[in-house]
Amino acid sequence: MTPAEIAEAARVTGGGTPETRTAPGAHRAPDVLYWLEHAWYDNHVEPGVTLGAAAGDGRITEVRTGVPAPPAGATVLRGLTLPGLANTHSHAFHRALRSTVQVGSGTFWTWREFMYGFAARLTPDSYHALARAVYAEMALAGITAVGEFHYVHHAPDGTPYADPNAMGEALIAAAAEAGIRITLLDTAYLSAGLTKHRGGAPLERHQLRFSDGTADTWAERVSALKDSDHALIGAAIHSVRAVPAEQLATVAEWAEARRAPLHVHLSEQTAENDACLAVHGRTPTRLLADHGVLGTRTTGVHNTHLTDEDITLLGSSHTGTCMCPTTERDLADGIGPASRLQRAGSPLSLGSDSHAVIDILEEARAMELDERLRSRRRGHWTAASLLHAATAGGHAALGRPEAGRIEAGALADLVTIALDSVRTAGPLTRLGAETAVFAASAADVRHTVVGGRHLVRDGVHALVPDVPQALAESIAALRG
């Protein structure tokens, strides 16, 4: 369809003025062309949009609005197409715990002991198989990029594998085979808890495989990992429990030197706060601030039990906040002050963490609904704001600010939500953002596109044809 034909079609059908936005330097026809029945574009629902993508770098080359019918050769995406969703915080092996840990009662700490049992059984091969299936499940849920908070580094007794990064490389390969992008947040985990003694508490048996011994040794190992088109290498501090105060700066400086993302579990449990106050006389947030950890490339995960000063420190430094509501409620962690953090200046993102469910739309909805329960007031975020946290906010936290929006020059990562399912049918199309956030679920994802490649088509994964079977087999293998 020529520009003149597009303009005439828009005039005949009563559409708006057609518009074409082209990436700088684009001189040829796109390698891949999609027609979006409805798109979340410029912060509103736009009907009839064509999107071209280049095969080489997987970026959007042009976006045209006012196209009422699919042009010849275009792949049709019916429903509402959003930028690809970002899962900012994942522990892939936790997927094996789903439902199993729902038997009985307990706390985060009893859940943790159960989790250690599964961590002890992982090998590079079994972790690859499980992560490949988990990342394929994410693709089916519209997730195009994941932040993998990775701390299972070595053999169960703490001995490094022949390739010291065998476990991390297994995760990187798994993401590639499942077709999604990964930011491997390689995690420093050096002690079992806070003590007044230098070096922290000695590691417990199940924690030996998490540790490199010192932050310097951790940095040496992680430096051998390299960025690629689909994988970025970032850093993580497991928590102030697991990295002694005198070694925090080493991790922060490694990330700063590489301009890499740096994530940290922060104040998820009140016990962590109590121990930090007892040992250091300050909160975990203040401890991180004093050792140079906070900043624009840093994201605190959970940020649940914070003081007013903590919120000010995180906001004024523009340290991000990744909320994981389905895990935080599953583990009875509490409700973090997300709205106050955002108002203070902390950008928000979302993660599925322990994978009680894998559904970033549910995480977005839960952040708002949890805040309603606490405040007894509705409407803390607009649907557009929640979509931003689920897309651009998450991609930025993972070191990909070029993702998370539909515009020329951005990564061609997309997810299409059905507007005709039993959950989504009925609302006006212009309320597509509200429908996606407050009614839809991962089950309504119809298509997923990564780098212009049609990865999930009509709910079927192109690379992992039977995702449920892959999950069942890889999890069964860990039960022994």
Catalytic machinery residues: 302, 353
CB atoms within 10 A of CB 360: 30
Q: What angle do CA 206, 209, 213 make, to 5 degrees?
A: 115
Distance between CA 283 and CA 256 in Å, rounded? 23
Q: What SS3 class is residue 53?
A: strand
Q: Cα(first)–Cα(last) distance of the chain, in Å? A: 58
| Cα 322–chain centre separation | 9
Q: What SS3 class is residue 269?
A: coil
Cβ pair 434, 383 in contact under 8 A: yes
Q: What SS3 class is residue 327?
A: helix
Distance between CA 43 and CA 384 in Å, rounded? 7
Tokens of 437: 């956030």
Q: Amino acid letter at 328?
A: E
Tokens of 287: 């401890």
By DSSP bridging, strand 262-266 and strand 181-188 are unpaired
Tokens 């005198």 sit at which residue?
246
Distance between CA 399 and CA 147 in Å, rounded? 10
Cβ pair 190, 243 in contact under 8 A: yes
Bridge partners (DSSP) of residue 83 are 414
DSSP-derived letter for residue 100 is G
Distance between CA 300 and CA 147 in Å, rounded? 13
Q: What angle do CA 221, 223, 228 make, to 5 degrees?
A: 125
Nearest to 184 by CA among 173, 194, 193: 173
Bridge partners (DSSP) of residue 148 are 90, 184
Tokens of 398: 């993972």
Residue 222 parent element (H or E): helix 215-222
